[in-house]
Amino acid sequence: MTGTGVTIVEGTLRIDDLDAFLATIDRIAERHDVTIQAVDARYVAGQSHLERAVESAERAIANDDAIARDPAVELLLYAAGRRQIERALEMGVDEGTGPAAIVVTGGADGPAADELRDELDVEPASVVGNPDEETLCDFFDIGDRERAATNATLEQLVCERVALLAVEK
């Protein structure tokens, strides 16, 4: 991750073979010198959620304080607000069809995003920023008492979880 930009490819993604999908995004990431992470959009509170995750992951890597060795995994950890890779993987994509947000950051993020759109089976749709509140609250462990105690939006509370991951190290 080099921090020069963030592009989010969003839509309904169809994955027939997860290993082939991962190989494709790895190849594109390497070709364009970018970091790519695909997440299940049902767990994305909004664009600022993903941008905060990118910023936090980049900062951890720059400060030699990363949890994971792979920048894409570090990004996923922050997006999920979890230190354990296994638990963060719940936010990743899987075989089948569903809403996805593919985060591209670093180097040539625009050309890499264009290539992802060309190579992957993704039907463009606005899927980021329309979360099911119950799903998000369950995933990020945000209870009714916490929501009642603040004027913060759900997206702001999720961004807080992302920021707290750095503090909890």
**How are beta strands 34-40 and 121-124 bridged, if at all?**
unpaired
* Cα–Cα dist 169/165, whole Å: 7
Please tell me the pTM assigned to this model. Answer: 0.92
Where does residue 145 rank: exposed (0-12), middle (13-18), buried (19+ CB within 10 A)?
exposed
Range of the domain at 12: 6-167
46 within domain boundaries = yes
Tens of each residue's pLDDT in the chain, 169 residues: 444 589 999 999 999 999 999 999 999 999 999 999 999 999 999 999 999 999 999 999 999 999 999 999 999 999 999 999 999 999 999 999 999 999 999 877 889 999 999 999 999 999 998 889 999 999 999 999 999 999 999 999 999 999 988 877 6
Total structural domains within the chain: 1
Residue-level pLDDT at 5 = 82
1 within domain boundaries = no
Residue-level pLDDT at 145 = 95
101 within domain boundaries = yes
Cβ neighbours of residue 124 under 8 Å, at least 6 residues apart? 10, 11, 117
Residue-level pLDDT at 3 = 46
Cβ neighbours of residue 165 under 8 Å, at least 6 residues apart? 56, 77, 78, 81, 82, 83
Residue-level pLDDT at 77 = 97
Where does residue 164 rank: exposed (0-12), middle (13-18), buried (19+ CB within 10 A)?
exposed
CATH of the domain at 88: 3.30.2380.10
151 within domain boundaries = yes
Token pair 């980021």 in the structure block, residue = 128
* Cα–Cα dist 15/102, whole Å: 13
CA nearest 44: which of 92, 12, 2? 92
107 within domain boundaries = yes
* Cα–Cα dist 8/101, whole Å: 6
145 within domain boundaries = yes
Beta carbons of 161 and 43 less than 8 angstroms apart? no
Residue-level pLDDT at 169 = 61
In this structure, is the dihedral angle defined by the CA atoms of residues 75, 77, 78 and 79, taken in order, positive or negative? positive
